[in-house]
């Protein structure tokens, strides 16, 4: 066995997230590959939340959610029932507290008694998460000095009293963990892993924003996008970034557009419901040909829907939002590494082509973390595309490729005029329908469209799996690493997968690549097949409903369910053969 899945379940307020953050850090330091993701209810206290810690050997990258639970730590009487559908009677070990959970209901399971309640009375409810960290550290035989060192780094600013109580809870847990009769599988460690960095989606989005040269972010807090705003705010002074928590999303997007006009590199960060308010501003950017980067972190709708769960249901929203016709580019990264790269690319492309560029993430990607090598995180560089103006400057000058020189007020002697009405080359309002309007539309749409259509996707559309595939799995966005692991596990000689990290415009090789497959299976996190329709409209690729795996209940895709879906079609293919 080269990986292990640990799931911790408890109420909001019990510090489950602290256990996750602490354990993935010290396990990585010890030399294990790590992965963590979480699911939580939309409440500050109560309810049932869980976090999955997946631990891989030093040779095995673990970067996808699995349903399997090898070791379960329930910290509430309702915890086991919350994840019962994932528990195996034969293979799941449960650290159960008989004073908290009636063991009579779970005699058919592999239960190991741990006195959480008794210890809790001595250390206090506030420190039960640190006790759990100690138990896990003891089970894994992680050197106590490693755990204590990390604890000191984490809590020393809170004072000696808090630090001492955390040490006490940790040590009590460690003593219990050492005695727990659970055999951790032998997994090889890797010292190189210890030197890698641990990132989650929010941090990576923020790092991409910083590396992309952004110096203005405007947002109204809305999960799951809020983490990006928080991360950038934490580092704003260090990197000279103006952070604006706007009064609403309408203000947020308009401030971002204004910042680009003034010469800044700006991003507006939001989620589906917030972006719904931004659509008029998006159209404004299209008319005045303003660069704009938008982070749209998806969650299930309609309306408030499931505000703390995941979805891929806002593709149509990003694709068709805004009145009138204007261009946009939509990226949908599938990994931490892709996210970092594409955010940087988004700023350069928006700057050069003077159009909105979307970064579509979702709750699963934003709240997922794993270790990465610095060699996998590429710095693109900042490419500014504005010009120093002259006295005869025309903001909307007709050009061969439809891209007018973009001036910045105060940089040069020219007057930089923009207008949300139709305008001439100088930026003056016009109602010259047959001449100026026709030329401006041609400039904005057709010439620029041809230019954008020729753009190479930052991440090539390259299948992985069999080079002689017969069945091709298509996915986009955050399902990438889950599908990738499923395909690698199946290891079928006629099976491959292709992931779209740029979903609009479609990479130019889309049609020719997909037509090579006899069967196309598509996986996406919505109920109507939004990407399926996009493929039909823009690539003339039609995929039957029977070959779609759509999911819209707010849960992420698991490796097991993707393998099951693919296996069914492999069996059908085998019968035909």
Q: What is the 3-state secondary structure (H, E, C) of 105-123?
A: HHCCCEEEECCHHHHHHHH
Distance, CA of 210 to CA of 87 (rounded, Å): 42
**What residue ranges of the chain are covered by domains with CATH 3.40.920.10?**
3-195
CA 134 to chain centre: 30
The closest alpha carbon to 252, from 224, 231, 277, belongs to 277
**What residue ranges of the chain are covered by domains with CATH 3.40.50.920?**
464-576
The position carrying tokens 């703390």 is 308
Contact between 547 and 56 under an 8 Å Cβ cutoff? The reply is no
Distance, CA of 519 to CA of 544 (rounded, Å): 10
The whole-number pLDDT of residue 367 equals: 97
The whole-number pLDDT of residue 396 equals: 97
Neighbours of 182 (CB within 10 A): 13
The whole-number pLDDT of residue 157 equals: 80
Angle in degrees, CA 283, 536, 496, rounded to 5: 115
β pairing state of 471-476 and 519-524 = parallel
The closest alpha carbon to 539, from 520, 523, 552, belongs to 520
Whole-prediction pTM: 0.96
Distance, CA of 151 to CA of 101 (rounded, Å): 29
Neighbours of 227 (CB within 10 A): 20
Q: Please state whether 295 falls in left (phi above 0), alpha (psi between -120 and 50) or beta.
A: beta
Query: CA 179, 181, 186, 191: dihedral to nearest 10 degrees?
Result: -30
The whole-number pLDDT of residue 455 equals: 83
Which DSSP state fits 501?
S
Which stretch of DSSP H or E encloses residue 71? strand 71-74
Burial class (CB in 10 A: 0-12, 13-18, 19+), 484: buried
Q: What are the tens digits of pLDDT across the range 519-540? A: 999 999 999 999 999 999 999 9
β pairing state of 3-12 and 46-56 = antiparallel
β pairing state of 519-524 and 197-200 = unpaired
Distance, CA of 287 to CA of 326 (rounded, Å): 7
- DSSP per-residue letters across 114-147: --HHHHHHHH-GGGHHHHHHHHHHHHTT--HHHH
Angle in degrees, CA 28, 480, 33, rounded to 5: 10
The whole-number pLDDT of residue 573 equals: 76
CATH class of 3-195: alpha beta
Taking CA atoms, 276 is separated from 270, 298, 303, 386, 406, in Å, by 10, 12, 10, 30, 28
Q: What are the tens digits of pLDDT across the range 489-501? A: 999 999 999 999 9
The whole-number pLDDT of residue 576 equals: 63
Q: How many CA atoms lie within 13 A of 157 on its CB side?
A: 2
The whole-number pLDDT of residue 508 equals: 93
- Coil/strand/helix, residue 311: coil
Contact between 426 and 404 under an 8 Å Cβ cutoff? The reply is no
**What residue ranges of the chain are covered by domains with CATH 3.40.50.970?**
198-376
Q: Match domain 464-576 to its CATH number in 3.40.50.150, 1.10.3080.10, 3.40.50.720, 3.40.50.920.
A: 3.40.50.920
CA 283 to chain centre: 26
Dihedral (CA of 474, 479, 483, 484) sign: positive
The whole-number pLDDT of residue 9 equals: 95
Distance, CA of 179 to CA of 366 (rounded, Å): 36
Q: Does domain 198-376 bear CATH number 3.40.50.970?
A: yes
The whole-number pLDDT of residue 12 equals: 86
pLDDT by 10-residue block (mean), the chain, 577 residues: 93 87 94 96 88 95 98 94 95 94 92 86 76 93 90 84 87 91 91 95 98 98 97 98 98 98 98 98 98 98 96 98 96 98 98 97 98 96 97 96 96 97 97 96 86 87 94 98 98 97 96 97 98 97 97 98 97 71
Q: Which two tokens stand for residue 423?
A: 């305008």
β pairing state of 197-200 and 369-372 = antiparallel
Distance, CA of 376 to CA of 270 (rounded, Å): 27
The closest alpha carbon to 363, from 224, 536, 192, 218, belongs to 224
- Coil/strand/helix, residue 548: strand
Angle in degrees, CA 202, 205, 209, rounded to 5: 140
* Helix axis angle, 144-155 to 16-30, nearest 10°: 130
The whole-number pLDDT of residue 125 equals: 59
Which DSSP state fits 383?
-
Contact between 249 and 220 under an 8 Å Cβ cutoff? The reply is yes
The whole-number pLDDT of residue 544 equals: 97
Q: How far apart are the first and last CA of the chain?
A: 34
The closest alpha carbon to 176, from 142, 128, 137, belongs to 137
């Amino acid at each position: 066995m080269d990986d292990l899945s640990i799931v911790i379940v408890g109420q909001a307020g019990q510090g489950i997230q602290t256990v996750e953050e602490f354990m993935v850090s010290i396990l990585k330091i010890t030399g294990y590959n790590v992965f963590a993701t979480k699911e939580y209810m939309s409440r500050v206290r109560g309810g049932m939340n869980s976090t999955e810690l997946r631990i891989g050997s030093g040779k095995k990258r673990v970067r996808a959610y699995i349903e399997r639970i090898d070791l379960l730590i329930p910290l509430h009487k309702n915890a086991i029932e919350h994840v019962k559908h994932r528990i195996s009677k034969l293979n799941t070990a449960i650290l159960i507290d008989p004073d908290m959970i009636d063991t009579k209901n779970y005699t058919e399971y592999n239960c190991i008694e741990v006195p959480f309640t008794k210890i809790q009375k001595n250390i206090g409810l506030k420190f039960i998460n640190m006790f759990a960290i100690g138990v896990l550290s003891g089970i894994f035989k992680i050197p106590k000095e490693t755990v204590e060192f990390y604890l000191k780094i984490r809590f020393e600013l809170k004072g000696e009293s808090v630090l001492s109580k955390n040490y006490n809870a940790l040590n009590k847990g460690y003593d219990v963990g050492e005695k727990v009769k659970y055999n951790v599988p032998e997994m090889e460690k890797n010292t190189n892993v210890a030197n890698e960095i641990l990132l989650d989606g929010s941090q990576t989005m923020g790092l991409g924003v910083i590396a992309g040269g952004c110096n203005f972010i405007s947002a109204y807090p809305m999960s799951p996008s809020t983490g990006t705003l928080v991360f950038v705010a934490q580092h704003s002074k260090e990197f000279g970034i103006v952070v604006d928590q706007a009064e609403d999303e309408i203000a947020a997007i308009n401030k971002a557009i204004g910042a680009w006009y003034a010469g800044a590199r700006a991003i507006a960060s939001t989620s589906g419901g917030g972006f719904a308010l931004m659509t008029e501003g998006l159209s404004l950017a299209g008319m005045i040909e303003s660069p704009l980067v938008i982070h749209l972190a998806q969650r299930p709708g309609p309306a408030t829907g499931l505000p703390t769960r995941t979805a891929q249901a806002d593709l149509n929203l990003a694709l068709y939002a805004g009145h009138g016709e204007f261009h946009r580019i939509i990226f949908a990264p599938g990994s931490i590494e892709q996210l970092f790269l594409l955010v940087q690319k988004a700023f350069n492309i928006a700057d050069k082509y003077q159009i909105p560029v979307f970064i579509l993430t979702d709750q699963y990607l934003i709240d997922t973390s794993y270790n990465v090598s610095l060699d996998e995180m590429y710095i693109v560089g900042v490419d500014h595309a504005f010009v120093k103006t002259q006295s005869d400057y025309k903001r909307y000058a007709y050009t061969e490729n439809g891209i007018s020189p973009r001036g910045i007020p105060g940089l040069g002697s020219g007057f930089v005029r923009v207008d949300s009405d139709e305008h001439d080359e100088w930026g003056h309002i016009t109602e010259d329908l047959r001449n100026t309007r026709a030329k401006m539309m041609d400039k904005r749409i057709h010439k620029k469209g041809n230019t954008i259509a020729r753009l190479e996707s930052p991440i090539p559309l390259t299948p992985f799996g069999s080079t002689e595939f017969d069945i091709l799995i298509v996915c986009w966005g955050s399902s990438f690493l889950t599908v990738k692991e499923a395909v690698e596990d199946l290891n079928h000689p006629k099976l491959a997968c292709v992931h779209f990290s740029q979903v609009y415009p479609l990479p130019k090789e889309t049609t020719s690549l997909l037509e090579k497959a006899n069967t196309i299976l598509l996986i996406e996190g919505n109920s109507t097949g939004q990407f399926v329709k996009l493929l039909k409209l823009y690539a003339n690729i039609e995929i039957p409903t029977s070959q779609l795996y759509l999911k819209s209940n707010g849960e992420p895709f698991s490796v097991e369910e993707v393998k099951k879906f693919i296996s069914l079609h492999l069996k059908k293919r085998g019968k035909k053969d």
